[in-house]
Amino acid sequence: MTEKKLLMGNEAIALGAIEAGVQVVTGYPGTPSTEALETVVRYADRCGIYTEWSSNEKVALETAVGAAYSGAKALVTMKQVGLNVASDPLMSLSYIGVKGALVLLVADDPGPHSSQTEQDTRVFGHFANIPVLDPANPQEAYELTKLAFELSHEFEVPVILRTTTRVSHSCEDVELAVAEPAPVEASCEGFVKDRRWTIFPRLTTERHPWLENVQVQLSERFSELPYNSVSGSGKIGIIASGVSALYVKEAVKGFEGLFTLFRVGTVHPFPEQAALSFLKGVEKLIVVEELDPYLEEQALQLIGKAHLPVDVYGKKNGFFPVGGEYNVDIVIDGINKVLSKLGEPSRLSHASPAVLREELPPLPVRAPTLCAGCMHRTVFYAFKQAAKQLKKDSQVETIFSGDIGCYTLGNAFPLNMVETCLCMGAGMSIAGGLSRTNSEVKQVAFIGDSTFFHSGIPAVINAVYNGADVTLAVLDNRTTAMTGHQPHPGIGVTVLGNPSKAIDIAGVIRSCGIGSVRTVETVNLEGCIEAAKEAMEFKGPSAIVFKGNCVGITKSGIKLTIDTESCTGCGFCIKQLGCPAIFLPPGEEKPFILDSCNGCGLCAQICPSESISEDGVKK
Amino acid sequence: MKYDILIAGVGGQGVVLASRMLALAAMKAGFRVSTAETIGMSQREGSVSSHIRIGDEISGSLIPAGQADLLIGLEPAETVRNLPFLKKGGKILSNSHAIAPASKPPGSPEYAPEALLAFLKALIPDMLCLDFTRLAEEAGTYRAANVAMLGAAAGAGMLPFSKETILSVLETEIPEKHRAVNRAAFEGAIEKIKPGTLIGNRR
């Protein structure tokens, strides 16, 4: 019996995978992909699925690969930048192939809303010779997940299910084939020894023709699938995939006679036959797609190959923006530009807003910031003080490098403490590079606990081996905070909440050979400043592990108050910390502390007039 | 039928939860529904908005500019920030309780909530505006302001389904220990917007 449920795209993918019989699910948290694995976890015990948060995406993929080599069905989840980390095993895997089934959920982030890049996984699939399915909404995400497992099993290749933020993080009434996930019927025959699992040049040479042949077979299969569909009857063709296809549908409403829409759900290998019969019916082609001009290039190639008299309008000739997230209005503007170029009298019309953006009064900037009571604020502040002291005492400047996590927000006003941020785990190695070219400057690198395990450790080893004069500050708030508090190898708990061995970060750093390693609790600002100074004065690589609790999961129960009698209204607490719980009402002189205070006590420790104190237990 | 609702507020106000309630209520009332929300960095005191599209023919989950039938603003500046999404003749439900930005980066305009509310009232005659945070506080916790606003929207007939429908969703979606407070906030808001009560520009 089918059932309708309100599901986020990621939840729909998880349910699709369970229905497809997934037995092993691995991943590393990354917005907007995270909820897929988290949803599987909810059913893991009941359905008999092994689930883990791996230490990084490469490890997650390799773990899933092992399971798939054994004939199991496996899913691995990550975001687009995570695919870069996993790309080394992936490129080899496409030659080797799998047994069982292996599906990679890779969530792209046009915009980007919470990512370092706007890279396009469709292109990655093309590059790696791996089929890519591109759902438009949660319903399709659910269905295409099941299809991905089928294709992977049948063709013995890994399959990428590529989503974007508006698919992964949209909620929709999804029609499910089964109301409740049932236990997975384990059909794993186990690993069978065979030379096909060991990549050698000779094997690569043998497998390459097979790999190319699979592309042709898949393209033919895709051409017959309903996920590549044609609608409308106009002489102007539009090709689109993913959520862009829905924007097109909405944009051309009422003009269906003018356009013919080709929606591509299986984007790679490009469904040539289906595309060809669509292209033969149109005179002009508009390509609407977020991120890279992938469909545009496929269409141009096919038009050339088949000698078709079709003009193409897309990103390459400036009709559509090359970057950024699309929406209906952007699509309307692009299509109208083409209509105008073609001399068509029709124009698609925008909805008329009550108020235009230009008519709005000036609005305050509301940038994301570190939470009230966040331990990172104490560490940043401590290093700021230590660096000031260092400059005063010995005229030495400091450069602060960071990387990906909540603590990237340390770059925000008024802390301004992250001067480089490239990717996960890069802070320490970039600081190492900076130390070679800025010998008179002190280098400090910040890294989170989860990121330390993800890709920080090799950078520590490199610093020791090559003698980089860098101070590493590990911000250990006991969770993967930015993506929603997932556990990691330092916590001593698995994704299912089962106890496991906690890896001691300071112990790992020590074993890598760093001479000065200290552990400091962040409740003590003075201690943090002292530790920062000591580490920065140390010759050669040094490290401090700062321990505190993420306020997102551990509430202290303490609330601080400002004594209005003794407060001088100097504003030091506000100007120095940018804590969202300290509030100065407009026109007033003395700030007060809001209910959102988490009682870290940092403001009390820096208040020049000692006017901030504990108010007792919070409600 | 098409009904597009945009909810806007500040990270931590419960924008996403409120949009989930509306989506579930819409489903319960027999409509198709789609939502899109800001998740990630913006959660931390940043601007948050959620799009809820209700109807039979849903395309993408993002509401195009100028097409929202209803704008629910949990905070005055966020209501104004999202005005371009509202269609001509669309309705507004706004909280008058302001949340100042956590930090004031150089160049950020001063926050003057009164001026923004005056701007809203002058522009949109069909607006309900009230201190829903205080109302929720009176019901038990300021955190229930989002649910109070759902109550007001339902009570004022701004939603394409009944207040009973959304109330029944609250009963199943809100954990038991918070349920009574939220119900009180919901019903308190309905009480407040009864005809004859002076709210915003409505008399």
- Find all residues with CB under 8 Å of A455, minimum gap 6, and list them: A56, A85, A424, A425, A426
pLDDT, residue B41, reads: 59
Residue A456 has phi, psi (to 5 degrees) of: -80, -30
**B59-97 per-residue burial string, b: 16 or more CB within 10 A, e: under 16:** bbbbbbbbbbbbbbbbbbbbbbbbbbbbbeebbbbbbbb
CB pairs under 8 A between A and B: 184
pLDDT, residue B39, reads: 62
Query: Which residues of chain A lie closer than 8 angstroms to B59, CB-CB?
Result: 246-247, 249-250, 328
A positions 381-420 inside 8 Å of B (CB)? 406, 409, 412-414
B202 within some domain? no
Tabulate helix, strand, coil % of chain A (nearest 5): 40, 20, 40
Test A360 with B84 for CB contact under 8 angstroms: yes
> Which helix (H) or strand (E) segment is A251 a member of?
helix A242-251
Q: Does A353 touch chain B (CB under 8 A)?
A: yes
Pairwise CA distance, residues A76 & A152, whole Å: 13
- CATH number for the region A229-351 comes to 3.40.50.920
- Kindly identify which residue of chain A lies nearest to residue B52, measuring between CA atoms: A171
- Find all residues with CB under 8 Å of A421, minimum gap 6, and list them: A116, A401, A402, A403, A404, A408, A411, A427
A550 annotated to bind ligand: no
ipTM score of complex: 0.93
Cβ(A287)–Cβ(A242) under 8 Å? Answer: no
- Determine how β-strand A284-288 pairs with β-strand A236-241: parallel
Residue identified by tokens 């910390």 is A577
Residue identified by tokens 């939470």 is A371
Test A328 with B59 for CB contact under 8 angstroms: yes
pLDDT, residue A619, reads: 43
- Kindly identify which residue of chain B lies nearest to residue A364, measuring between CA atoms: B109
A600 annotated to bind ligand: yes
- Kindly identify which residue of chain A lies nearest to residue B24, measuring between CA atoms: A6
Summarize pLDDT for A164-216 with one digit per residue, the tens: 999 999 999 999 999 889 888 777 889 999 999 999 999 999 999 999 999 99
The pLDDT of residue B7 is above 80: yes
B199 within some domain? no
Pairwise CA distance, residues A199 & A215, whole Å: 20
Cβ(A244)–Cβ(A263) under 8 Å? Answer: no
Amino acid letter at B55? G
B130 within some domain? yes
- For domain A375-547, which architecture applies? 3-Layer(aba) Sandwich (3.40)
- Provide the domain count of chain B: 1
Pairwise CA distance, residues B122 & B101, whole Å: 24
Test A414 with B10 for CB contact under 8 angstroms: no
- Find all residues with CB under 8 Å of A319, minimum gap 6, and list them: A286, A313, A334, A337, A338, A341
Residue A176 has phi, psi (to 5 degrees) of: -100, 145
State the DSSP string of B57-120: S---SSPPTT-EEEEEESSHHHHHHTGGGEEEEEEEEEE------S---TTPPP--HHHHHHHH
B5 within some domain? yes
Same fold for the pair A3-223 and A229-351 = yes
What three-state secondary structure class fits B142?
helix
Q: What angle do CA B71, B73, B78 make, to 5 degrees?
A: 110
Pairwise CA distance, residues A345 & A323, whole Å: 28
B116 within some domain? yes
Which of A360, A413, A586 has its CB closest to that of B83? Answer: A360
Pairwise CA distance, residues A464 & A565, whole Å: 53
The pLDDT of residue B151 is above 50: yes
Q: Using 50, 70 and 90 to split pLDDT, how confident is the model at B198? A: very low
Cβ(A296)–Cβ(A289) under 8 Å? Answer: yes
Assigned token pair, A184: 């997975």
Pairwise CA distance, residues A537 & A515, whole Å: 12
Query: Which residues of chain B lie closer than 8 angstroms to A171, CB-CB?
Result: 19-20, 23, 33-35, 37, 61
- Determine how β-strand A73-79 pairs with β-strand A101-108: parallel
Amino acid letter at A22? V
Summarize pLDDT for B92-147 with one digit per residue, the tens: 999 999 998 877 788 889 899 999 999 999 988 779 999 999 999 999 999 999 99
Would you kindly state where each structural domain of chain A is located, as residue ranges? 3-223, 229-351, 375-547, 561-613
* CATH number of the domain to which B12 belongs: 3.40.920.10
Beta bridge partners of A521: A547
Q: Mutating which of B44, B51, B71, B104 best tests the A interface, going by the most A Cβ atoms within 10 A?
A: B44
> Which helix (H) or strand (E) segment is B53 a member of?
strand B47-55
List of chain A residues with pLDDT < 70: 616-619
Query: Which residues of chain B lie closer than 8 angstroms to A249, CB-CB?
Result: 59
Pairwise CA distance, residues A502 & A490, whole Å: 5
The pLDDT of residue B175 is above 80: yes
Q: What is the CA radius of gyration of chain A?
A: 27
Cβ(B64)–Cβ(A253) under 8 Å? Answer: no
CB atoms under 10 Å from CB of A302, counted, come to 16
- Kindly identify which residue of chain B lies nearest to residue A584, measuring between CA atoms: B100
The pLDDT of residue B38 is above 90: no
pLDDT, residue A236, reads: 98
Cβ(A456)–Cβ(A428) under 8 Å? Answer: yes
CB atoms under 10 Å from CB of B177, counted, come to 7
Q: Kindly report the CATH class assigned to A561-613.
A: alpha beta
- Side-chain-side CA neighbours of residue A225 (13 Å): 24
> Which residues in A402-496 belong to E strands, given as ranges?
442-448, 470-476
Beta bridge partners of A399: A443
CB atoms under 10 Å from CB of A527, counted, come to 16
> What pTM value is reported for the model?
0.95
Test B66 with A357 for CB contact under 8 angstroms: no
pLDDT, residue B43, reads: 62
Assigned token pair, A140: 């399709």
pLDDT, residue B196, reads: 46
Pairwise CA distance, residues A466 & A432, whole Å: 9
CATH 3.40.50.970 assigned to domain A3-223? The reply is yes
pLDDT, residue A14, reads: 98
Query: Which residues of chain B lie closer than 8 angstroms to A166, CB-CB?
Result: 36, 60-62
* Torsion from C-alpha of A498, A501, A505, A509, nearest 10 degrees: -150
Residue identified by tokens 């015990």 is A45
The pLDDT of residue B202 is above 60: no
CB atoms under 10 Å from CB of B157, counted, come to 11
State the DSSP string of A11-25: HHHHHHHHHTT--EE
Calculate how close chain A gets to B16, using CA atoms only, in Å: 11
pLDDT, residue A595, reads: 85
What three-state secondary structure class fits B71?
strand
Query: Which residues of chain A lie closer than 8 angstroms to B81, CB-CB?
Result: 360, 363
Q: Does A375 touch chain B (CB under 8 A)?
A: no
